[in-house]
Copies of this chain bind each other. A is one copy, B any other.
Amino acid sequence: MKTTRLEAFSDGVLAIIITIMVLGLKVPHAADLAVLKPLLPVLLSYVLSFIYVGIYWNNHHHLFHSTEEVSGGILWANLHLLFWLSLFPFTTAWVGENHLGSIPTAVYGFVLLMAAIAYYILQSTIIKQQGPDSLLAAAIGNDWKGKVSPTLYLLAIPLAFVSPWISHALFITVALLWLAPDPRIERVLVDKEKE
């Protein structure tokens, strides 16, 4: 299968995930400002998940930058990642509706953790297919972000029972980590392509 078709399908799924999450913001029947107050945590968890899906969409592109054909293994590793991402609308709405309660927060963290693991599996599958000269392996280097993120999610799950705010602080930290521009990766890619 051509990489372009897999990318187009994944983009389609990500576009739908990022958009239907807004359906979690239930339209209130009254027209006063008070009805917006319970929607605030839903909106905040929507913002966080929106950024997460954006990060995944952006990174997904980097993954397939240097692959032209995808094997059956990559295809299913990619669907596995999309599966965990497709649960975001559910966990986002649940966390929001319950004002960041402990159990919804822990479940939110669990789905983030599983998505991170699925991403790692997908990345490893592509590197394995590319062989020892893998452009992707060179680009990600020691992949410290890819190792720190699941560790922080893993911490956030039990900490949700101490205080969900700690967990959400950790989720936001990870998001900021990925949002910060990382010129090194793009430079490596550009350098490698020039060779």
Contact = CB atoms under 8 A, between A and B. Distances in A.
Nearest to A100: B31
A129 to B, nearest CB: 13
A67 B86 CA distance: 32
Chain A interface mostly: helix
Nearest to A105: B31
Say which size band chain A's interface belongs to: 35 or more
Interface string A14-34: 111111101111011111110
A173 interface: no
Interface string A84-111: 0011011001100110011110010000
A33 B13 CA distance: 29
Given A98-B31, A107-B36, A179-B76, A19 B16 contact: yes
16 contacts: A1-B58, A8-B11, A9-B15, A12-B12, A13-B15, A16-B16, A19-B20, A20-B23, A22-B87, A23-B23, A23-B89, A28-B94, A29-B97, A31-B102, A47-B83, A50-B83
